[in-house]
Amino acid sequence: MQNFEYYNRTKIIFGKGTETRLGKETALYAKRILLHHSGGHAVKSGLLDTVKASLKDASVEWVELSGVKPNPRLSKVYEGVDICKKEKLEFVLALGGGSVIDSSKAIAIGALYDGDVWDFYDRKKTARQALPVGAVLTIPAAGSESSISSVITDERGPWKQSVNEECIRPVFSILNPEVTYSLPLYQTACGVADMLAHIMERYFTREPHVELTDELCEGAMRAIIRNARKIAAGGERNYDARAEIMWAGSIAHNNLLSTGRVGDWASHAIEHELSALFDIAHGAGLAIIFPAWIRYNIKVDTPRFARFAARVWGVDGAFYDYEQAALEGVFRLKNFFRSIGLPVSFAEGNIDPARIPEMARRTVRFGAVGNYRQLNAEDVEAIYRIAAET
Amino acid sequence: MQNFEYYNRTKIIFGKGTETRLGKETALYAKRILLHHSGGHAVKSGLLDTVKASLKDASVEWVELSGVKPNPRLSKVYEGVDICKKEKLEFVLALGGGSVIDSSKAIAIGALYDGDVWDFYDRKKTARQALPVGAVLTIPAAGSESSISSVITDERGPWKQSVNEECIRPVFSILNPEVTYSLPLYQTACGVADMLAHIMERYFTREPHVELTDELCEGAMRAIIRNARKIAAGGERNYDARAEIMWAGSIAHNNLLSTGRVGDWASHAIEHELSALFDIAHGAGLAIIFPAWIRYNIKVDTPRFARFAARVWGVDGAFYDYEQAALEGVFRLKNFFRSIGLPVSFAEGNIDPARIPEMARRTVRFGAVGNYRQLNAEDVEAIYRIAAET
């Protein structure tokens, strides 16, 4: 087990009706805020009205900025930064899923910086301060509601880049599973793939003695899989299933599951090129890439993949033939993704395989990716090819 | 799943050599502190010297108060409170296990209160402020290093009472598993029983839809059991086993595992009378009480106890005869406690059964205990009798 620091200061307020607590929580930090959202679902569902009423009750004033898209764009971040500076706003409130929260985090950094906020995403600067960020989560997926991550796409490239710094961790996040009843099954499934991927990135480690966190990872994955199936099978309004998925999405990415170990994160980097170039949902991209990543690496530490197959997918025979068990695990992982409506190949995701060499070069533009096994452009190309062929 | 708030602001600094970071972390909060410890193990092992050197390097001054005993005493707390007030100390640093940390928390409350600090433990007052507390943990057990709990014994009763408030949660805790190499096997085992009990108190809930946290609880219990066996079987200096146990002790009690559910906590209340009257180690008392509590309640929700048997203890046949499976689970739990050197009956723990009626009355002095099933004096007496007879 490696040395680690574990610290997560986000206050999670979870359950039915909790969005009405928003105003009071926000007022602890600011009286004038940016209210950031996509302008879609939250408006139609009436959630935006509830949020505004709660802010008003707590005498919090807001300036609204909507229009955030999936794979959130830098141009929208620039807009938000300008508003925050001009209006002297003190807080960014995200109402939405990972895209809105990530965009809010970027705005929060930019609001306290004189230069171009992209400097932080382009690894020229390290983010050390930001406006406080809070969130009302509507899509369980990215775990951004209690994470230090923000991923933004500069559409001029397009480049999809991330910042991971403590200063952008939300001070609070409000999670009401009822809000997700109306989330379409495809978006629900994309979120499930994203949270499973967050756990798998941590689970596939070369650190040998991490038994406790292995157990926690495996248990969380099983709970996600079972409850995702319930929702997909007509359980859109099943509160308990929605609640398990929503809480799992936060736990998957709040760093508890990576304590003492080094995560891999190659699949995320490899996927980012898919969503940057083809604007596919991140979760769908991960459903295509992750099984290919496992197949490419299956000989690196076959017993670990066999254990994944046995403990997460109930594969028997794990102790007779590790490789066979491991392959059966990948098969079941893909089957699961497909069963909840996700693409698992380039063809199913409408990804053009002609751009594989370009995507591989782009993936490694800052150097090799991954920790489980360091991957260069050739390796990444091979993984794209597996994903394209199957 | 019930609504919940999850917030844990303790910064955990975990791993080899991390005690050398103490000075810098403390200096973020204070320049003059109370250094509180037992005067035993930490002195002999040289840890106290390391701690002092680190404080000195960071220009932090300290006043030392040693002599904390297991089942920490109110009289020692009074001493600490007086010193803090007289010397105008700004921070309480605990160097030790749960007893020292609990004592430190009590001192931290008392230092900012004009009356008798026992008022908070006697439920006359609610603690809303305290000096910041930090910890260097030496005994993985109570989880006090990142919890809101403090349990103190007023030796005049004797009464063992607790405070559970956010203001006493440590701001940081330093956990170096190497420090626990020299922890005697019996004390290690008591700690293991304590952390298992913390999870079982949460696991045995009547809340039906808590699948994710069920999985996390079960996984954590399995990891604790396996690694406790490794240590008991000659692995005293096995870093990884010690590390798993140490981190598990924190996770067992940092409230993640109780999100969305209501814990029981009757066994803790029932045990407290054992350690208050007979000064037995809390963990040893729990090893005696918890199996008896399960046996007494086995018909309340037999499938849950059968699941505990199946998932935590590998009992097969859980789905043929729930009660049989559940009883086999209790049998294995007791066998496990015994195998790591703990008493599992009154006789083995030198507890006098003549005092059972008195202990039962004392247990319910504030009313019925437990949430899984509310227990009155008669129930508690029956549980003591089961523990006495087996």
Question: B176 to chain A nearest CA, in Å?
Answer: 9
Q: What value does the mean pLDDT take over residues B287-310? A: 95
Is residue B5 included in any domain, yes or no? no
Give domain status of residue B266, yes or no: yes
Asked if A359 and A276 touch (Cβ cutoff 8 Å), the reply is no
End-to-end CA distance of chain B: 36
Cα–Cα distances in Å, from B388 out to A37, A172, B286, B347? 62, 48, 13, 7
Range of the domain at A93: 11-178
A357 & A210 share domain: yes
CA B238 centroid distance within chain: 23
- CA dist., res. A36 & res. A92, Å (int): 7
Report pLDDT for B318.
56
Q: Which pTM does this prediction carry?
A: 0.95
For residue B88, is pLDDT > 80? yes
In the chain, the amino acid numbered A227 is N
pLDDT of A276 reads: 87
> Whole-number mean pLDDT of chain A?
96
Q: Do A244 and B9 touch (CB under 8 A)?
A: no
Question: Cα separation of B119 and B142, whole Å?
Answer: 23
Among the listed residues A272, A248, A325, the one whose alpha carbon sits nearest the alpha carbon of residue A294:
A325
Q: Are residues A222 and A163 in the same domain?
A: no
| Domain membership flag for residue A150 | yes
Whether B317 has a pLDDT exceeding 80, the answer reads no
Whether A142 and A39 share a structural domain? yes
Q: What is the pLDDT of residue A44?
A: 85
Last residue of a domain, one of B121, B145, B178: B178
Please judge whether B215 and A227 are an interchain contact, meaning their C-beta atoms are less than 8 angstroms apart: no
Query: In this complex, which of B1, B17, B239 lies closest to A240 when CB atoms are compared?
Result: B1
Contacts of B226 in chain A (CB under 8 A): 211
Question: What's the distance, CA A52 to chain centroid?
Answer: 26
Residue A152 included in any domain:
yes
- Is there a single domain that holds both residue A221 and residue A358? yes
pLDDT of residue A319: 61
pLDDT tens profile B341-379: 999 999 999 999 999 999 999 999 999 999 999 999 999
A123 and A238 in a common domain: no
Residue A2 lies in a domain: no
Of A4, A211, A218, the CB nearest to B15: A4
Question: How many CB pairs lie under 8 A apart between chains A and B?
Answer: 129
pLDDT digits 0-9 by tens, B132-158:
999 999 999 999 999 999 999 999 988
Tell if the CB–CB gap between B13 and A1 is shorter than 8 Å.
no
Q: Do B3 and A9 touch (CB under 8 A)?
A: no
In order of B29, B109, B140, B147, the CA distances from B167 in angstroms are: 15, 8, 22, 10
CATH number of the CATH domain containing A280:
1.20.1090.10
My answer on whether B30 and B51 are in the same domain is yes
Using one digit for the tens of pLDDT, what is the confidence trace for B41-73? 888 889 999 999 999 999 999 999 999 998 899
Q: Is B172 strand, coil or helix?
A: strand
Q: Which of A133, A157, A178 is the last residue of a domain?
A: A178
What is the tens place of the pLDDT at every residue in A171-201?
Answer: 999 999 999 999 999 999 999 999 999 999 9
Q: Does A277 touch chain B (CB under 8 A)?
A: no
Q: Are residues A208 and A333 in the same domain?
A: yes
| Average predicted confidence (pLDDT) for chain B | 96
Residue A326 lies inside a defined structural domain of this protein: yes
Q: Which of residues 159-218 of B touch A (CB under 8 A)?
A: 177, 208-209, 211-212, 214-216, 218
In angstroms, the CA B101 to CA B170 distance is 9
Identify from B24, B212, B256 which residue to disrupt to test chain A contact, counting A C-beta atoms within 10 A and taking the largest count: B212
Given B134, B156, B178, which residue is the final one in a domain? B178
Same domain flag for A108 and A172: yes
In a domain, B6, yes or no: no
CATH number of A164's domain: 3.40.50.1970
Apex A200 CA angle, A198 and A202, nearest 5: 75
Shortest distance, CA A220 to any CA of chain B (angstroms) = 6
Q: Does A239 touch chain B (CB under 8 A)?
A: yes
Which residues in chain A show pLDDT less than 70? 317-319
| Average pLDDT, integer, range B324-336 | 96
pLDDT score for A76: 98
A21 and A97, same structural domain? yes
**What's the number of domains chain B is made of?**
2
For B22, residues 6+ apart whose C-beta sits below 8 A from its C-beta are: B51, B54, B55, B93, B134, B136, B174
Q: Are residues B157 and B211 in the same domain?
A: no
Q: For A7, which of B11, B17, B211 is closest by C-beta distance?
A: B11
In a shared domain, residues B130 and B246: no
The answer to the question of residue B1 being in a domain is no
The pLDDT assigned to A41 comes to 83
Please state the ipTM of this predicted complex.
0.94
**Same domain, residue pair B193 and B340:** yes
